[in-house]
């Protein structure tokens, strides 16, 4: 991926929102989000009118533990919202690719809730 834009590390797309964990590139986070919204809007909706809300929640990752908690939260989000019983059942996520890389076991989080302390955002 273009180092200017950064790299999407983890993602999940849900019917009414999405979560992205992005390794920062050389452009600002706001410009990165704006670029994503512009490029994805027409591909998703087929129209010029934006499907995205104007605001977003940003959090700068502090350390490896913070990174891991946020990645876990992202992958657990479809379970949290009641769409599936396990992250492996949700196809619109980076979870399956990370299972293939050996980062998560396929049965990760089954039977346990995942959260981020002091989350402050959705």
Active site residues: 92
CA distance linking residue 73 with residue 114, whole number of Å: 6
Instruction: Compute the residue count for the chain.
Output: 122
Q: Report whether 63 contacts 82 (CB < 8 A).
A: no
CA distance linking residue 106 with residue 96, whole number of Å: 8
CA atoms within 13 A on the CB side of 111: 1
Which residue in the block uniquely carries the two structure tokens 């010029």? 48
Q: Three-class SS of residue 13?
A: strand
């Amino acid at each position: 991926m273009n180092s200017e834009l950064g790299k999407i590390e983890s993602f999940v797309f849900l019917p009414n929102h999405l979560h992205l964990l992005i390794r920062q590139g050389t452009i600002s986070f706001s410009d990165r989000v704006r670029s994503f919204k512009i490029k994805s809007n027409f591909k998703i909706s087929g129209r010029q009118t934006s499907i995205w809300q104007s605001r977003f929640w940003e959090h700068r990752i502090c350390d490896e533990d913070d990174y891991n908690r946020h990645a876990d939260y992202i992958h657990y989000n479809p379970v949290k919202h009641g769409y599936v019983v396990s992250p492996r059942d949700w196809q619109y996520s980076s979870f399956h690719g990370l299972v293939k890389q050996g980062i998560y076991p396929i049965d990760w989080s089954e039977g346990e809730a995942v959260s981020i302390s002091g989350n402050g955002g959705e």
